[in-house]
Amino acid sequence: MRTGADYLAAISDDREIYVDGERVRDVADHPAFRPIATTMSELFDLAADPSSKMTFTAPETGAEANRIYGIPRSQADLTAFRDAAQAWARHTHGWVGRSPDHVGAFVAGFAAHPEAFAAGERDFSANVQAYHRELLTQSKYVSYAIIPPQVSRATTAHAWEGDFVQAGVVEEKPDGIVVRGAQMLATGGPIADEIFVSCIKPLTEDDRDFALGFVVPVAAEGLKLYCRRPFAPAATSSYDYPLSTRYDETDALLVFDDVFIPWEKVFVYRDVAGLRRQFFDTGAHVLGNWQAQIRFSVKLQFITGLARKVAAINGVDKFPGVIEKLGELASLASLVESAVLAAEYTAAPDEAGLWRPGKRAVYGAMGLQAELYPRALSILRDLVGGGVLQVPSSVADMRNPATRADIDRYIYSPNAPAEERIKLFKLAWDATGSEFGGRHHQYEMFYAGAPFVVKGYAFRNYGFEEPLADVESFLAGYHVD
Ligand SMILES: Cc1cc2nc3c(=O)[nH]c(=O)nc-3n(C[C@H](O)[C@H](O)[C@H](O)COP(=O)(O)OP(=O)(O)OC[C@H]3O[C@@H](n4cnc5c(N)ncnc54)[C@H](O)[C@@H]3O)c2cc1C
């Protein structure tokens, strides 16, 4: 099994990453990326540790593999997948959205339905299956960029000013294709091994050049990653910013400056319908988004625990109004946890034997995520009050004997000395108010698509037949006498 050291060595290559006007020399040893690369390496070490029970023998290769890349072929497989995804999510307390199990689950879904990649003008089914075997044997970390750059949503790429603003094919060669343009927004891209690039937003037949699906090494020649402002380097210490200093995943715009992609790594080619087939006919979308809900559930539990502890330290946890707020938070966390389990309980095998998590439960929870997460943050924000700002400017004030005495005397609680209290409130600030916390607010609202898109999934996957039949039969039971 791949270890954390193997992973760190692999990403120390010649990838072209830009931050603050400079090209990053080595992502594994750069202040913006070292912390999250270290966290990611811990996940690989966890998976390689037999006591974590995250491995199995993959039928596709006959070799040991990480569960998170496996095709669930029974309900027990789904449970094992959840256990593995949860083990990773617990390690990061749900604050890493794009650990390798996210796109890993998508690729497993793709590989369960190779026929979806054979229905276009060319047959790419063997490519998808070969790539899945690569993930099983090599435990690759794949990130994805499946959204056109936010230029204008009034039209699609063919109508935009300028050629190949969205990543598209500019040249077809005997051994592959040449891709030019940009795609958003690869969370974890700078520290991934490879990136899956495609387009989940609906395109038109005029956009065929952009209707692609392929994987590309982050270090591919001509591929550039432009990162948003990193938060980890600005954080003064892990005491002051315990989340920013560990889990700042980075988000990056990809720019393809005529990047060559060999045919073996192409899954969809100039095939608008193929884009939809890969995500929705294969089961990849529901499986990948079930992983996202497993991770989200762990994060909500963490936020609930944080709020409970803050209320206890401030001595307000016996007040009925506070109990109501904590009860609401507990309800939100329980609902998402229940949806995760309900998806497993209502899972069923499809015609290819892939056990798909129940769609109603997965998309129901997703559909409310843009309200659920801001509400959870708002309750935590309400409970912390000004306590998150009644803290010393940094850990340096704690170390300075001239300031420490006042800190110990005034910033304490009956059940928590200064160091403990400040530690907790700084964590609460990193979750709610820091730039990292703000980015997470945006992430949970948008990572699976804008709220109107995600509610569309809930609409399409609820299954209105039964409730409609119920209403019809009730209406049929009475008349104008
Ligand atoms: C922190 C973060 C991390 C991300 N990570 C990834 C990643 O790893 N990989 C990836 O591929 N993508 C990622 N994304 C991108 C994400 O998938 C997109 O943000 C998402 O698909 C929404 O697209 P958009 O941002 O272009 O919003 P838009 O489509 O521009 O929508 C913005 C808003 O405009 C309004 N709107 C637009 N169109 C309509 C319409 N037709 N009807 C009604 N209202 C409309 C809505 O209010 C909507 O919320 C990430 C995003 C964030 C914020």
DSSP structure string for 248-313: ---EEEEEEEEEEEEGGGEEE-S-HHHHHIIIIISSHHHHHHHHHHHHHHHHHHHHHHHHHHHHHH
Both tokens assigned to 254: 């990809």
* Residue 479 is assigned to a structural domain of this protein: no
Is 114:267 a contact under the CB 8 Å cutoff?
A: no
H/E stretch holding 112: helix 101-112
Closest CA to 364 of 444, 287, 459: 459
Amino acid at 185: L
pLDDT of residue 481: 84
pTM, two decimals, is: 0.97
Do both 260 and 338 map to the same domain? Answer: no
**276 annotated to bind ligand:** no
Q: Cβ(154) to ligand 1 under 6 A? A: no
**103 annotated to bind ligand:** no
* Residue 313 is assigned to a structural domain of this protein: yes
Do both 341 and 406 map to the same domain? Answer: yes
Q: Which residues have C-beta within 8 Å of that of residue 284, sequence separation ≥ 6?
A: 105, 106, 107, 108, 109, 110, 113, 278
CA dist 432 and 376 (Å) reads 10
- Ligand 1 pocket, mutate which of 142, 184, 249, 443 (most atoms under 8 A from CB): 184
Burial of 191 per CB tally in 10 Å (0-12, 13-18, 19+): buried
User: Which residue matches tokens 């559930």?
Assistant: 297
Nearest residue (CA) to ligand 1, atom 33: 450
Count of other CB atoms within 10 angstroms of residue 337: 18
Do both 354 and 342 map to the same domain? Answer: yes
Ligand 1 atom, smallest distance to 442 CA: 53
Please tell me the number of Cα atoms within 13 Å of 378 on its side-chain side: 8
- How far does Cα 299 stand from its chain's mean position? 12
Nearest residue (CA) to ligand 1, atom 43: 452
CATH at 176: 2.40.110.10
Tell me how far the alpha carbon of residue 145 lies from the centroid of ligand 1, in angstroms: 12
Taking phi first (over 0 means left), then psi (-120 to 50 degrees means alpha), and beta for anything else, what does residue 23 get?
beta
User: Which residue matches tokens 């931050």?
Assistant: 19
Do both 249 and 193 map to the same domain? Answer: yes
* Residue 478 is assigned to a structural domain of this protein: no
- How far does Cα 133 stand from its chain's mean position? 22
pLDDT of residue 299: 98
Q: Cβ(251) to ligand 1 under 6 A? A: yes
Do both 55 and 176 map to the same domain? Answer: yes
Ligand 1 atom, smallest distance to 448 CA: 17
Do both 104 and 183 map to the same domain? Answer: yes
Q: Cβ(231) to ligand 1 under 6 A? A: no
Residue pLDDT tens, the chain, 481 long: 999 999 999 999 999 999 999 999 999 999 999 999 999 999 999 999 999 999 999 999 999 999 999 999 999 999 999 999 999 999 999 999 999 999 999 999 999 999 999 999 999 999 999 999 999 999 999 999 999 999 999 999 999 999 999 999 999 999 999 999 999 999 999 999 999 999 999 999 999 999 999 999 999 999 999 999 999 999 999 999 999 999 999 999 999 999 999 999 999 999 999 999 999 999 999 999 999 999 999 999 999 999 999 999 999 999 999 999 999 999 999 999 999 999 999 999 999 999 999 999 999 999 999 999 999 999 999 999 999 999 999 999 999 999 999 999 999 999 999 999 999 999 999 999 999 999 999 999 999 999 999 999 999 999 999 999 999 999 999 999 8
* Residue 481 is assigned to a structural domain of this protein: no
**369 annotated to bind ligand:** no
CA dist 180 and 257 (Å) reads 5
Tell me how far the alpha carbon of residue 138 lies from the centroid of ligand 1, in angstroms: 32
CA dist 129 and 443 (Å) reads 30
Of 262, 281, 300, which closes a domain? 281
**38 annotated to bind ligand:** no
pLDDT of residue 68: 98
| The total number of structural domains that make up the chain | 2
Tell me how far the alpha carbon of residue 280 lies from the centroid of ligand 1, in angstroms: 19
Q: Cβ(151) to ligand 1 under 6 A? A: no
Tell me how far the alpha carbon of residue 115 lies from the centroid of ligand 1, in angstroms: 29
Angle between helices 435-446 and 369-384 (to 10 degrees): 150
Which of the 8 DSSP states describes residue 124? -
Both tokens assigned to 204: 């038109």
The domain in which residue 444 lies consists of 284-470
| ipTM score | 0.98
Do both 428 and 460 map to the same domain? Answer: yes
Of 281, 306, 322, which closes a domain? 281
Nearest residue (CA) to ligand 1, atom 51: 447
CATH at 383: 1.20.140.10
Do both 111 and 255 map to the same domain? Answer: yes
Q: Cβ(325) to ligand 1 under 6 A? A: no
| CA dist list (Å): 310 to 74, 215, 421, 440, 453 | 42, 45, 9, 20, 35
Do both 163 and 239 map to the same domain? Answer: yes
H/E stretch holding 186: strand 176-187
- Ligand 1 pocket, mutate which of 36, 142, 147 (most atoms under 8 A from CB): 147
- Ligand 1 pocket, mutate which of 452, 453, 457 (most atoms under 8 A from CB): 452
Nearest residue (CA) to ligand 1, atom 52: 443
* Residue 480 is assigned to a structural domain of this protein: no
* Residue 145 is assigned to a structural domain of this protein: yes
* Residue 213 is assigned to a structural domain of this protein: yes
Count of other CB atoms within 10 angstroms of residue 233: 17
CA dist 162 and 473 (Å) reads 56
Nearest residue (CA) to ligand 1, atom 50: 447
Closest CA to 140 of 210, 68, 90: 68
Do both 346 and 325 map to the same domain? Answer: yes
Nearest residue (CA) to ligand 1, atom 42: 452
* Residue 408 is assigned to a structural domain of this protein: yes
Tell me how far the alpha carbon of residue 453 lies from the centroid of ligand 1, in angstroms: 9
- Ligand 1 pocket, mutate which of 185, 436, 440, 441 (most atoms under 8 A from CB): 185
Of 217, 250, 281, which closes a domain? 281
**183 annotated to bind ligand:** no
Closest CA to 71 of 119, 135, 3: 135
Radius of gyration in angstroms for the set of CA atoms belonging to the chain, rounded to a whole number? 24
CA dist 208 and 31 (Å) reads 40
| CA dist list (Å): 344 to 83, 104, 333, 417 | 12, 18, 17, 44
CA dist 196 and 386 (Å) reads 43
Do both 314 and 223 map to the same domain? Answer: no
Q: Which residues have C-beta within 8 Å of that of residue 322, sequence separation ≥ 6?
A: 311, 316, 383
Q: Cβ(184) to ligand 1 under 6 A? A: yes
Do both 264 and 294 map to the same domain? Answer: no
